Chain A
Amino acid sequence: MRKTGLLVLMIAFAAVSCKKSPVEDLSILVDEPYYLTIPEGFTNPDIPEDNQLTKLRVELGKKLFFDKNLSVDGSISCGSCHLQEFAFSDGRAKSIGVDGRPGRRNSPVLFNLAWHDRLMADGGVPSIELQVMVPLHDELEMASNILDVSAVLNENEEYRNLAMAAYNRDVDPFVITRAIAAYERTLVSGNSRYDQFLAGNLNALSTSEKAGMDLFFSDRTSCSSCHGGFLLADNEYHNIGLSESYEDAGRELITLDGNDNGKFKTPTLRNIALTAPYMHDGSVESLEEVLDHFISGGFNHPVKDDRIRNLDITSVEKQSIIDFLGALTDIEFIENEEFRPRP
């Protein structure tokens, strides 16, 4: 019996001898699940099997998100163009990459991404994980290479240990994309005064904001036909007549279908008052100008959405809609210290 046991041990050793040996000293890093706080009215998000949320994964992702080593010259991090005070956009028409290079599009907000079907204004990327590589490789943004970044970060013992504890592997493209995505999934915003109103606090909105809300959700404006649901966005792509001819073809770049020319993903209106300038190219400076665009019906374009049409509303009604949009700001979200890098 004793000899049989010895043989079993030997065979087991043979079976595992082709595998990498695990890092041994991880005694200080014990991982545990991270539970998202889902706001009332939100659904449970789908989270990939290979990237279920844990505290160490989120911690590693946050560390990576604010690490300038992700850019080719160490000058910018993800957090350089996604600032919490702007609901993780950057307040510029177009972001500034390494060497002061202007980007192609307006920096998108980063919150409630767990509920998005696809990422990027043109929907070119199917997951948050894969989206991580876009700015990292874009010559106008970080101009880097995720393999080089992996090599640099693997020189750092803290990163190595975190990666091993969180994902049981060295820092590599899999770990970098998963960890940043894990952190970004925790950026949940759903406690604006509008949400508080929906939860039963009828005093959360002013009279003007309530009037704006009613207009927003009315057939007169059709705003909510695209900006509806708990995301205040429909995960779809629309041409809103921003121009007669689009320099940036938008969704057409991905589908190669001319019927998608000038279509961009509907942005969420949550925290919209914090995220000027607006539109995919940052060409509209204020919410008032955004309203002016939709009231005018925009420019003619062969594939413009039918719902973009001249609206017959008064200046008072317009102001009430702007007031309502202001009530979509989630102060708790932009002040949440959990989302910030550790000192």
Chain B
Amino acid sequence: MKRAIYFVIAVTLILTSCKKKKQTEEDGIVNINMSAYFDSEAFAVGNVYTNVDGYRVRVDDFKFYISELAAIRNDGVLIPLIDIDLINLGSGYSTSSFELAPGNYRGIQFSIGVPPELNKDQDPTVYPNDHPLSVNGAQGMFWSWNTGYIFVKFEGKADLDGVEGNEILSPFAFHCGEDLLFRTHVIDNYAFTVSEEIATPIDIRFNVEKFFYSDNDTIDIAVNNLTHTSGNLPLAERFTDLFNLAIELE
């Protein structure tokens, strides 16, 4: 009988030792929803949109790293939610759920890119396969020849005549990385309340149309259509600025 008890104890230990920590009963749920749109249309790779210069544009790949995402409590304390994650907005939408203590928050903070201490000269082979910085998890967002991560990859093809029915053949590719392109957003006028009863949505939206222009700059992809950061840093800086300006909280 006692052996049976020991066996039960052992099985219980086995079963519980592999589980993640159970959500505490006090915590509420926050859903971080990221979505992309083009002007007023829902965005998805493979669709064709007309950009500010009248070019018909088809995006084939759109990924970026988000890091150090935290909720800002009303007393100013940062509550970390995401250390680092690779977001693929190819379908136009991505969502993740997190536990957060109930209460009032005045905003969120996050960065676009890989924090400097995790970026240059780091080894992606030491991470487990499901880690966003691993060879597998990075999904090609890593430069082998210039050891470091691509923060934002936005590439596709365009029809520069803008004529319906034309083949879309002119490539563009913005691969932006390097520590100096790491950008942090502090949004402390985005008040929200977390409760135990209902999930709280936080909607981060990316206006893809604005990746090509702002009030102060326009990237004409007939002329400026390729940067791997190295070799064309000015264009990478311009795209990074436009990309970060195009982020909105709803």
- Binding between chains A and B: yes
The residues of A with any CB-CB pair to B shorter than 8 Å are 3, 6-7, 10-11, 13-15, 17-18, 50, 120, 122, 124-127, 129-130, 133-134, 136-138, 146-147, 172-174, 177, 249, 253-254, 256
When distances are taken between beta carbons in the complex, the residues of chain B under 8 Å from A18 are 17-18
A250: shortest Cβ distance to chain B, in Å? Answer: 11
Contact A7 B145 (CB under 8 A): no
When distances are taken between beta carbons in the complex, the residues of chain A under 8 Å from B229 are 256
Closest to A133 in B: B144
Instruction: Say which residue of A6, A14, A134 sits within 8 Å of B144 (CB atoms).
Output: A134
Bound: A126/B121 CA distance, A: 6
B174-195 at interface with A (beta carbon < 8 Å):
178, 180
Contact B6 A6 (CB under 8 A): yes
B87-146 at interface with A (beta carbon < 8 Å):
121, 123-126, 135-136, 144-146
Could you show 6 A-B contacts with beta carbons less than 8 Å apart? Answer: A7-B10, A10-B10, A14-B13, A125-B144, A249-B231, A256-B178
A249: shortest Cβ distance to chain B, in Å? Answer: 7
When distances are taken between beta carbons in the complex, the residues of chain B under 8 Å from A6 are 3, 6
Closest to B123 in A: A130
Residue of B10, B17, B124, B178 with most partner-chain A CB within 10 A: B10
Bound: A136/B135 CA distance, A: 13
Contact A14 B10 (CB under 8 A): yes
Is B249 part of the contact surface with A, judged by Cβ < 8 Å?
A: no
Residue of B136, B144, B180, B231 with most partner-chain A CB within 10 A: B144
When distances are taken between beta carbons in the complex, the residues of chain B under 8 Å from A134 are 144-145
When distances are taken between beta carbons in the complex, the residues of chain A under 8 Å from B123 are 127, 129-130
Is B230 part of the contact surface with A, judged by Cβ < 8 Å?
A: yes
User: Given contacts A134-B144, A256-B180, could you give 16 more A-B pairs where the C-beta distance is less than 8 Å?
Assistant: A3-B6, A10-B13, A11-B13, A13-B14, A14-B10, A122-B146, A124-B147, A126-B121, A130-B123, A130-B144, A138-B145, A146-B135, A174-B126, A254-B146, A256-B229, A256-B233
What 4 A-B pairs have minimum CB-CB distances, sorted nearest first? A10-B10, A14-B13, A133-B144, A173-B125
Contact B136 A10 (CB under 8 A): no
Interface size for B (C-beta < 8 A) is 27
Contact B145 A10 (CB under 8 A): no
B198-250 at interface with A (beta carbon < 8 Å):
229-231, 233
When distances are taken between beta carbons in the complex, the residues of chain B under 8 Å from A254 are 146, 230
Contact string against A for B residues 2-22, beta-carbon threshold 8 Å, 1 for contact and 0 otherwise:
110011011001100110000
Known A-B contacts A129-B123, A256-B230; the reply to A173 vs B135 at CB < 8 A is yes
When distances are taken between beta carbons in the complex, the residues of chain B under 8 Å from A126 are 121, 147
A88: shortest Cβ distance to chain B, in Å? Answer: 19
B61: shortest Cβ distance to chain A, in Å? Answer: 16
B229: shortest Cβ distance to chain A, in Å? Answer: 8
Bound: A17/B121 CA distance, A: 35
When distances are taken between beta carbons in the complex, the residues of chain A under 8 Å from B9 are 7, 10
Bound: A11/B230 CA distance, A: 53
When distances are taken between beta carbons in the complex, the residues of chain B under 8 Å from A13 are 10, 14
B129: shortest Cβ distance to chain A, in Å? Answer: 8
Contact A147 B135 (CB under 8 A): yes
Bound: A339/B14 CA distance, A: 48
Contact A253 B146 (CB under 8 A): yes
Closest to A11 in B: B13
Contact A17 B126 (CB under 8 A): no
Contact A14 B14 (CB under 8 A): yes
A57: shortest Cβ distance to chain B, in Å? Answer: 15
When distances are taken between beta carbons in the complex, the residues of chain A under 8 Å from B121 are 126
Residue of A13, A15, A120, A173 with most partner-chain B CB within 10 A: A173
Contact A172 B13 (CB under 8 A): no
Contact B18 A124 (CB under 8 A): no
A336: shortest Cβ distance to chain B, in Å? Answer: 29
